[in-house]
Structure 1
Amino acid sequence: MSDQESVVSFNSQNTSMVDVEGQQPQQYVPAKTNSRTNQLKLTKTETVKSLQDLGVTSAAPVPDINAPQTAKNNIFPEEYTMETPSGLVPVATLQSMGRTASALSRTRTKQLNRTATNSSSTGKEEMEEEETEEREDQSGENELDPEIEFVTFVTGDPENPHNWPAWVRWSYTVLLSILVICVAYGSACISGGLGTVEKKYHVGMEAAILSCSLMVIGFSLGPLIWSPVSDLYGRRVAYFVSMGLYVIFNIPCALAPNLGCLLACRFLCGVWSSSGLCLVGGSIADMFPSETRGKAIAFFAFAPYVGPVVGPLVNGFISVSTGRMDLIFWVNMAFAGVMWIISSAIPETYAPVILKRKAARLRKETGNPKIMTEQEAQGVSMSEMMRACLLRPLYFAVTEPVLVATCFYVCLIYSLLYAFFFAFPVIFGELYGYKDNLVGLMFIPIVIGALWALATTFYCENKYLKIVKERKPTPEDRLLGAKIGAPFAAIALWILGATAYKHIIWVGPASAGLAFGFGMVLIYYSLNNYIIDCYVQYASSALATKVFLRSAGGAAFPLFTIQMYHKLNLHWGSWLLAFISTAMIALPFAFSYWGKGLRHKLSKKDYSIDSVEM
């Protein structure tokens, strides 16, 4: 035993060992054995020196983008990303380093202590104790409990997703990206067979289009459910419940006796399945350190834009061959069912939940109720959860012009994709006389263009990593992909309008899909990273703002696209959108040069990575 370990004093009340310097490098706790007497088991914890050796300073860094949204006043945000030799970091040690916060109270640890020790006090006594604690809370007398020990991953911990073999992490990345494709496919699956909806329910095209739009609207509301579920119970639970409900609700979609039932179930399908859109990016980020997660996230940027394209491609043939609306939904149900099983089988990746389970295991093994995660120590505030998931995104939507402009561009690209689902039937159906099956084939170039964009994102990511090695990066360094892709999205629409003549071979308008697919994925990949870096302190809320605005646009555009092309003709219908897309080319270039100044001038507060990194 070292000199430091030998200079200790024993406290018989809490069985803890404290060194003469006031730190807690180790602790003795009762170990459960078969003997009648408890033996003392040595549990090592981190010291000031060991934490300093790991790079911990008195200033708490900004939490990782995957930290719990309900976290507040963090004194140890490194908990979810750091590995320590012992896996336990005492609050007393953090306090001695200068990290303090009043949010962590003795009240919470007393509650856990009562649960762990199965207190025999009466209900009246418990109520009196709780009332006393509530009075302490209201009077502000609660202090940080120095006996709390935060749980971290141990060095080389196999439970840490960052330590999984690379082939495992990339396999899960591909599978989760396919889950996103599955969900996005479901939103547009009926667009390849709108005629079957019209025929079955004897309604017009506008009413049939609602079966697509309402599911996309569900995408904007679903995160209000699944983000908190993920924070509290983990990604795996959220996928299992949400995708299971999505599979079930495809049944009434296929058997709906009237249009109202179909529309209601399609909306609920959007709400249930939205976990695949709002959580998969986080699941992928869980498995990769911040320096290397960019390439993996590129797959997530690719998936939500390719998924809808596959819908009309597949279901156009089902519609023409069988004329059965129900078969479209049975196929969608089968696809969703397979992905439900796969997503439920993927191990938990969310570090806060993994560590929460580890803390519970350690409390049981050691009998020490003070071992916990920082999220457990703080408790979960419903008001903070609502603020993070609902109020803050809405607040950003009305107070952050830079975020709104960026989200508008993402919304435009996403809306144009859904507009194509209804513009192509007009162009290729009315001009060339194609049925839904051949119209669906015209979407293949969009997929090819998106694949080219996915390869290009690796180039953009390598350029960014090179910048990181040379100097401190800024959010504007993330805009390279958008600057490359923005002109291609506009060029696609100019080509689509210019080649809408019957005497011009169909390769002309179809090739517009190549340019659009290339541009849309690069724009989304780049702007998504830009939003994260600009609002790193509240990245989840900023991304929620993006999801809401994007889904609103994707739901709205199909409702007027066909009428727009009929009123303006095939040329000007595309050119009107081309003018808007051309004007938006300036956005990534303008933000690249003046973005920092605009953020400081127009934003209520600087939330960017610039304001939190030394």
Structure 2
Amino acid sequence: MVSSDSQYSYTSSSDTELYSPAADIEHPSYISKILSKTKPDEGKARKSIAETHAEGIENTLTRYESSTHGIGPIESVLDEEKPEQFDVKPDTELNEWDPWHYPVDSETGFRIVQFVDNDRDDPRCWTTRARWNYTILLGLVCFDVAMMSAIITGDMKSPAAHFGVSLEVMCLCVSLMVWGFGLGPLIFAPFSEEFGRNRVYQTTLLVAVCFIIPCGAATNIGMLLAFRFLDGVAFSAPMCLIGGSLSDMWRNEERGSAMAIFSVAPFLGPVMGPIVGSLLSVKCSWRWVYYFMIIFSGCLYGVMFIFLPETHHQTILQRRAKKLRAKGDSSYRAISEIKTRSVKKIAKDTLLRPIILLSELIVFLVTLYMAVIYGLLYMFFFAYPVVYGEGKHWGDIKTSLMFIPLGAGTILGTLAAPFLNKDYVKRAKKYIDRGQIPPAELRLIPMMIGCWFVPIGLFAYAWSSYPHISWAGPAFSGFSCGFGFMMLYNPANNYIVDSYQHYAASGLAAKTFVRSMWGGAVPLFTIQMYHRLGYEWASSLMAFISLACCAIPYLFYIYGARIRERSKYAYSPVQGELKDPEQGIDSSAQDMRSNHQLSERVIDNE
């Protein structure tokens, strides 16, 4: 048998040596067993082929079930089917023109298309340099979207005076965009399943860039507010898909640093926004804030359009299956072409289930906590101008520089993430070594440490904000808050994922929606709150609220397992025996391992 193309070459010199991989490509184990042995025992060979093929199918299905990372992903792809039900048809014939040699599945009658070992089309097998280039590009897009929401806070007075409206009305420019962030994923996330990530990126980013133009050219406040909201909806699509793109490219053990870039961008972007916005507004005009974003976002869109390849695994495999079918064999299918969801199920998973999960105590309280944190971030954008602008009579540029410690805190919190993850792995291994499944509550340990930094920072900000006290007190209190934000953010997401497993994405959807609604509401009352209560007590009020929230991770660390046992939706495995590591793990442990993989993939899209 002879088959060759640009990536693969197979030569047949004798019956004893039928398989020779190309220099840097290997076939999956079931292909090796088909092609590499001489006259094997027929029954044993077929059993081995079936087992290894089923394993390959299971890996593909695991990737497919957890590869959509925004709102409403596929949470149950197989329905009643089990991966082990897939079996190789005994009389399978391998097509010589098929470089991957996919066998026929006996149950479905299809040749299931999946990635092979070291497959060049598999995003996880791309070069490290290429994956880092794409990761940095996606991180910049996330940073761009986040900065767009807060860049106008660097100078709110100039556009307010131009349109003849109050500052409260101008605050709606921030609120409406943040609300758009919460609504957009409900619309766009399911499209990535159908069309792939790149089409969603390219379409929504183009629309978003175009919607910035009327913001900069607005002739009345209504026009500005309308397009800020539409911009928020359009810009939300990249925010809810970038986590999935990173998961497509990086394996679990490689993903820590890449996800750190994605995690810090939603916090660092808004922090940098006022600094850039104030410089542009003072040196040029408030309209140049939008013109700058058109240029910056447009350049990122162009680079992404030209250089970013498709990373969604099933989209890539669908295209491969389509090309193979075009050669004359219609039996080639990607998993996503066999198991699909109806429109009704998509609507249920996307819209209804997140609302249902808000009735779960774990989802409700963690969502409440993350909403408070997100609201505090946007509160600072309006509290700093009050404390420094009104209290100390500083200008916009000087005031915006006080956000630098807040940004430094978020960066330090991000740098701590790999160490926290190592600690989690170490603790989880102790449970596995004892034959137990690591509890979801292990994810709460960083929250139990980091939760105190937020109220400490807020109290310091409150009682050092007197006009006659040095600027350093309230400024550097932002460092503590920024560090606390990052110590809370990822562990909270991971706890929801570990607690709800197959419903995890719906739980994160509920959190994202509520968080965005509250984050958008905070700017509407922050200025009035500081004027009515005074600088000290307004900040102290938020400090007391964040202090009360510190009880949440401790509550779930103690009672979380019992709460999950009583829940209809939460994942609560029985602490059963694990098999010897050399022999594999039992089904409940496998569920937990899959859950841990999923938790590495869904850093909130936010």
Q: TM-score range by the shorter chain?
A: 0.7 to 0.9
Percent sequence identity is 37
Q: 2:74 aligns with which of 69, 78, 87?
A: 69
Tell me which residue corresponds to 1:186: 148
Displacement, 1:314?
0.8
Kept after mapping to 1: 8 A contact 2:65/2:74: no
Q: Which stretch of structure 1 is more off in the superposition, 573-582 or 281-290?
A: 281-290
Q: Which amino acid aligns with 1:369?
A: S
Distance 1:464 1:78 in 2: 31
Q: Using the alignment, how far apart are the partners of 2:103 and 2:477 within structure 1?
A: 57
1:452 aligns with 2:412: yes
**Is structure 2 residue 333 aligned with structure 1 residue 372?**
yes
Cα distance in structure 1, aligned partners of 2:354 and 2:84: 25
1:175 matched residue in structure 2: 137
Query: Where does residue 545 of structure 1 map in the other structure?
Result: 510
Given candidates 286, 300, 313, the residue that maps to 2:275 is: 313
Residue identity opposite 2:444 in structure 1? L
* 1:395 alignment partner in structure 2: 356
Which residue does 1:141 correspond to in 2?
A: none
Paired letter, 1:163 = C
2:489 aligned residue = 524
Question: In the alignment, what sits opposite 2:222?
Answer: 260
In the aligned structure 1, how far is the partner of 2:294 from the partner of 2:571? 42
Amino acid at match of 1:325: W
Q: C-alpha deviations, 1:206-241, integer Å up to 9, x for none? A: 100001100001011111222112111111111101
TM-score (norm: length of structure 1): 0.79
Post-superposition shift, 1:543?
A: 1.7
Distance 1:596 1:222 in 2: 33
Q: 2:51 corresponds to which residue?
A: 52
- How far has the Cα of 1:57 moved from its partner? 10
Match of 1:505?
A: 470
Residue 466 of structure 2 is aligned to residue 467 of structure 1: no
Contact 1:457 1:481 survives alignment (8 Å): no
Counterpart Cα distance in 2 of 1:171 and 1:57? 29
CA displacement, residues 311-370 of structure 1 (integer Å, 9 cap, x when unaligned): 111111222223x221110011111112212333211111111111111111112x2222
Match of 2:199 among 237, 243, 256: 237
Structure 2: state its 5+ residue gaps. 2-11, 16-32, 36-44, 86-98, 575-587, 594-606
CA contact (8 A) 1:535 1:609 kept: no
Matched, 1:606 2:605: no
Change in CA separation of 1:537 and 1:415 when aligned onto 2, cut-off 3 Å: same
Structure 2 Cα separation of the partners of residues 348 and 543 of structure 1: 24
Query: Which amino acid is 1:454 matched to?
Result: T
Call closer, same or farther: CA 1:167–1:469 in 2, change over 3 Å.
farther
Q: Secondary structure at the match of 1:285?
A: helix
* CA deviation after TM superposition for structure 1 residue 155, in Å: 1.4
The answer to whether the 8 Å contact 2:387/2:467 transfers is no
SS of the residue 2:247 aligns to: helix
Residues 1:327 and 2:328 are matched in the alignment: no
1:443 aligned residue: 403
Contact 1:410–1:524 (8 Å) recurs in 2 = yes
Deviation at 1:161, TM superposition (A): 1.2
- The whole-number CA distance in structure 2 between the counterparts of 1:591 and 1:503 is 43
Aligned-pair distance for 1:576?
0.3
- Cα distance in 1 for partners of 2:154, 2:523 equals 13
Cα deviation 1:520-567 (Å, max 9, x = unaligned): 012111111222222220232222112101111110000001111111
> Do the aligned residues in 2 keep the contact of 1:475 with 1:609 (CA within 8 Å)?
no
Write the mapping of 1:8-407 to structure 2, written as runs, cut at 5 A.
48-53=47-52, 56=55, 64-66=65-67, 69=74, 71-73=77-79, 75=81, 86=100, 88=102, 90-92=104-106, 95=107, 146-322=108-284, 324-344=285-305, 345-365=307-327, 367-397=328-358, 399-407=359-367
RMSD: 2.7
AA of the residue aligned to 1:385: I
Q: Cα–Cα, structure 1 residues 152 and 164, in superposed 2: closer, same or farther, change >3 Å?
A: same
- AA aligned to 1:476 is E
Number of equivalences? 515
Give the aligned residue type for 2:240: C
Cα 1:457–1:613 shift into 2, 3 Å: closer
- Cα pair distance change 1:274/1:170, threshold 3 Å: same
For 2:124, the aligned partner's letter is H
For the residue of structure 1 that corresponds to 2:451, the secondary structure is: helix
Cα distance in 2 for residues equivalent to 1:388 and 1:406: 20
Matched letter for residue 493 of structure 2: N
Partner-residue secondary structure (3-state), 1:257: coil
Q: Is the contact made by 2:501 and 2:570 (CA closer than 8 Å) also made in structure 1?
A: no
Distance 1:483 1:50, change over 3 A: farther
Maintained 8 Å contact 2:102/2:111? yes
Distance in 2 of aligned mates of 1:49 and 1:531: 38
Once residues 86 and 78 of structure 1 are traced to their aligned partners in structure 2, the CA distance between those partners, rounded to angstroms, is 21
Structure 1 unmatched runs, 5+:
6-24, 28-45, 80-84, 96-145
Query: How far did 1:480 drift?
Result: 2.8
TM-aligned CA distance change 1:313 to 1:530, over 3 Å: same
Which residue type is aligned with residue 544 of structure 2?
F
Query: Secondary structure of 2:326's partner?
Result: helix
Name which of structure 1's ranges 432-441 and 583-592 shifts more when overlaid on structure 2. Answer: 583-592
* Matched residue type, 2:146: A
Q: Is the CA contact (8 Å cut-off) linking 2:281 and 2:287 kept in structure 1?
A: no
Residue 78 of structure 1 deviates from its aligned partner by: 10
Give 1:574 shift. 0.3
CA deviation after TM superposition for structure 1 residue 479, in Å: 2.0
SS of structure 2 residue aligned to 1:175: helix
Residue 409 of structure 1 and its aligned partner are, at CA, apart by: 1.1
The separation in 2 between residues aligned to 1:534 and 1:446, in whole angstroms, is: 31
Corresponding residue number in structure 2 for 1:568: 533
TM-score, structure 2 normalization: 0.80
Choose 198-207 or 159-168, whichever is displaced more: 159-168
Using the TM superposition, give the Cα deviation of residue 517 of structure 1 relative to its aligned residue in structure 2, in angstroms.
0.8
